[in-house]
Amino acid sequence: MTNTWPMTQRVELATVMDRLAVDGMVTEYAVAVDDGDWEAYRGLFAPGGRADYRSAGGIEGDAGQIADWLARTMRLFPMRQHLIVNRRVRFGLLEQDTGDTARVQADYINPMRFAGQDEGSTEPDFVCGGRYDFALLRTDDGWRLREVVVREKWRRTAPTGKEPAAR
């Protein structure tokens, strides 16, 4: 059977498939962090992949260093859930692109609960938000993260129960 699709339809289909795969990587990133699956987290990165969490009080380093740091740090927050929205995907924007790169800017909100804080409560006592900048690279294993940069814009903690005196 001969494929009679015009070339433009094949290119458009390939672009849609790439977009779905790139979007899936962003989702896998959030799930790995929320579930504390640090092996899965490492596996999302291309060789030499890096992440930068400094704007959120963290570190910058290669995927292994970041996974180790997250494993230690996220013990403070046994309940966490990334919500990643407003995903803006652009292909071929990295230097010396050969058609196999992508960038995603995506806003996030991340409610978390501190360990040991009112274990029966479902309310988060720490919430932060900002924007992720993901740089991706197509590899023999599919799309992988080349770089993740967290740009925290705000954070809020729950009230301590000590309300200010009325004036």
State pLDDT tens for residues 122-163: 667 889 999 999 999 999 999 999 999 999 999 998 765 544
Q: What is the dihedral of CA 32, 51, 149, 128, to 10 degrees?
A: 50
Q: How many CA atoms lie within 13 A of 140 on its CB side?
A: 1
What is the model's pLDDT at position 163?
Answer: 40
**pLDDT tier for residue 116 given thresholds of 50, 70 and 90:** confident
Q: Model's pTM, two decimal places?
A: 0.83
Across residues 23-48, what is the average pLDDT? 97
First-to-last CA distance in the chain?
Answer: 82
What are φ and ψ of residue 35, in 5° steps?
-85, -5
Q: Could you tell me the domains of the chain?
A: 7-157 (3.10.450.50)
- Distance between CA atoms of residues 149 and 68, nearest Å: 17
pLDDT at res. 11: 63
What CA–CA distance (Å, rounded) separates 36 from 40?
A: 9
Confidence band for 10, pLDDT divided at 50, 70 and 90: low
